[in-house]
Amino acid sequence: MTTFQRARSEEQRGIRRQAILDTTAAMLEEMSIGEVSLNELSRRVGLAKSNVLRYFESREAILLELLDRAWRQWVADLPALVHAGIDQDAPVSRRAEQFAAVIAGSLARRRVLCDLLSAQAGVLEHNVSPQVAARYKRAAVANVADIAALAHQHLPELGDSAPQLTAAMIMAVGAVWTHARPSPAMLAAYEADPSLTAFKLDFVTALQEMLATLTAGTIARASA
C-alpha cells in the first residue's frame, strides 16, 4: 500500500490518478470486476475513499477508463497480427475465416479486456455522469473505427459495412466471454450430467465461429 500526501499541483494530481488506475488494473488481474470495491482500492492505493472519488466519480468511471486503455492497447497490436495471419491473395471466404481466427486468438490472451467488454453495457456504463459516459463512448467509437479500417484493408469486400461488422464483433466478444465462463454451480451441473456439456463453450472456438459467420454474412449482404 502507498500512502500519499495531499496533491497540490496538476502533476501530483496526475500521479494520483495514474496510481488509482494502475492499482485497479492490478486488482483486475487477481479478481473479477464484481469483486473490485472502492474500499479495497482505497486501502491498496493509500487514499481515503473520499479522496479516490475526487479523481474519479465512481468505481465504474475508473473501470471505463481502464477499458479504453486496454482496448487501445489491443487495437495497437492488431495490425501486425492481422497482417501476419491473413493471406491477402486468398479468396475472400478464406480471408474472412483467417480474420476471425486472428481476432479470436488475440483476445484469448486479454482476459481483463474481455472481462471489461462483457460488463460494458450492463455494469460499467451505469453509475457514471453523462459527461463520463460521453467521453468513454467517443473513445469507443474511435476504437471501433480503427478496427473497421483494419478489417476493410484486408477485406475490401466489406465495403461500407466494416464499422457495422466491427460493432457487432465487439458485442459478440462480451457475450461469448460471459457464456464461456460458467458459474461454479453450472460447472458442477456439467460434471453431474455430461449431456449438458453441449452448452459448455470454449471461448476461442465459439468466438471464432461467431465472428466468421458475422464476417461472411456482412460480406454477402454488402455484395447483394
Cα–Cα distance between 81 and 38 in angstroms, integer? 36
pLDDT at 199: 81
Q: Is 7 within 8 Å of 13 (Cβ atoms)?
A: yes
46-82 pLDDT per residue, tens = 999 999 999 999 999 999 999 999 999 999 999 999 9
Cα–Cα distance between 61 and 117 in angstroms, integer? 14
Output the pTM of the full model.
Answer: 0.89
pLDDT at 13: 86
pLDDT at 120: 95
DSSP secondary structure letters along 95-147: HHHHHHHHHHHHHHT-HHHHHHHHHIIIIITSSS-HHHHHHHHHHHHHHHHHH
Ordered mean pLDDT values, 10 residues apiece, the chain (224 residues): 57 90 96 94 94 95 97 97 96 97 96 96 95 96 97 97 96 95 92 88 95 97 89
**How many residues make up the chain in this entry?**
224
Q: Where are the domains of the chain?
A: 1-56, 58-223
Q: What are the grid coordinates assigned to 78, written together?
A: 492488431
Cα–Cα distance between 149 and 71 in angstroms, integer? 15
pLDDT at 6: 56
Cα–Cα distance between 201 and 178 in angstroms, integer? 10
Cα–Cα distance between 146 and 72 in angstroms, integer? 9
Query: How much of the chain, in percent, has pLDDT values that exceed 70?
Result: 96
Query: What is the residue whose three cell numbers read 460434471?
Result: 191
Fold of 1-56: Arc Repressor Mutant, subunit A (1.10.10)
Q: What is the CATH number of domain 58-223?
A: 1.10.357.10
118-147 pLDDT per residue, tens = 999 999 999 999 999 999 999 999 999 999
